[in-house]
Chain A
Amino acid sequence: EAGVAQSPRYKIIEKRQSVAFWCNPISGHATLYWYQQILGQGPKLLIQFQNNGVVDDSQLPKDRFSAERLKGVDSTLKIQPAKLEDSAVYLCASSWQPREQYFGPGTRLTVT
C-alpha cells in the first residue's frame, strides 16, 4: 500500500512570497490533515478535511494560509504571503479509521 505522498520535499522562499504544498493521501482515506511542525516541537493541527469538507480549521491562520481538497482526494496548502515564523515542516496525514493517522514525509519550508 502506497503511503501519503507530499511534494515538494524542500522549499526555500523569501518572506512575503507565496508557496504551495501538495498532498496525495492513501487511497480510500476520507480524512486528511495538515500539520505544522516547528523545529523542536510536536506537530500542530492546521486543518482537517472529511472528504472535501472542512471539519476543523480553528488553528489555521486564515489571513495568510488557505487549503483545499478538491474531489475529496488530493489537497493543497498555500501560504500567501509567507513570514519568517512560517519556517517549519508541513506534514500531511490521512486516515480511514478515526484514530489512526498516517503521515507523509513532510515539506520542509525555509523562509528567509
Chain B
Amino acid sequence: QQQVKQSPQSLIVQKGGISIINCAYENTAFDYFPWYQQFPGKGPALLIAIRPDVSEKKEGRFTISFNKSAKQFSLHIMDSQPGDSATYFCAASMETGGGNKLTFGTGTQLKVEL
C-alpha cells in the first residue's frame, strides 16, 4: 500500500526529444506528488510537484500529468538537453502526525545524447 512504482529504470533520449517517466501508486491517502532530480554525488532536488485536484502542471520544459482515477502520474521533459541527464525520482506524500512522509519510487536514470 505504501509503494510507488516507477518506470522505466533507464531511458536514453536524443537531444531535443521528449523524456517520459511514469509512476503509479496504491494508497489513496497520498495527497502530494513531487518529482526529484538527482545528479551524481548530490542529494535529490525538488523539480516540480502536483496535488491530486489538478490534472496537469507545467513549469518550463517540465510537465506533470496526473490521473487520479488510474492512480498514475508522469513527468514529461520537453526539448530534453544533455544537462537533464540525471536520475529522476517520483514520490508520494501524505500528512502524518506532525509532518509529512515521502515515499519514493525506485528512480529512472535519464541520459540525453547529442
Q: Which of B13-21, B52-60, B68-76, B92-100 participates in binding chain A?
A: B92-100
Chain B binding site: helix, strand, loop or mixed by DSSP?
strand
**Selected contact of A99 from candidates B36, B49, B105, B106, CB within 8 Å:** B49
Q: Provided the pairs A40-B106, A42-B89, A99-B34 are in contact, do residues A31 and B99 lie with their beta carbons within 8 angstroms?
A: yes
Chain B minimum-CB-distance residue to A6: B43
Please indicate the chain B residues that have their CB under 8 angstroms from the CB of A98 in the complex.
95, 99-100
Q: Provided the pairs A42-B107, A106-B43 are in contact, do residues A99 and B93 lie with their beta carbons within 8 angstroms?
A: yes
B89 contacts A48, CB within 8 Å? no
A-B contact count (CB 8 A): 62
Nearest CB of chain B from residue A77's CB, rounded to whole Å: 15
Interface residues of A (CB under 8 A from B): 4, 31, 40-45, 48, 50, 53, 55-56, 91, 93, 98-106
B43 contacts A42, CB within 8 Å? no
Task: Tell me the bound Cα distance from A103 to B43 in angstroms.
Answer: 5
A105 contacts B99, CB within 8 Å? no
Please indicate the chain B residues that have their CB under 8 angstroms from the CB of A42 in the complex.
4, 6, 89, 91, 104-107
B11 located at the interface, meaning its Cβ lies under 8 Å from any Cβ of chain A in the complex: no
A41 contacts B106, CB within 8 Å? yes
B104 contacts A43, CB within 8 Å? yes
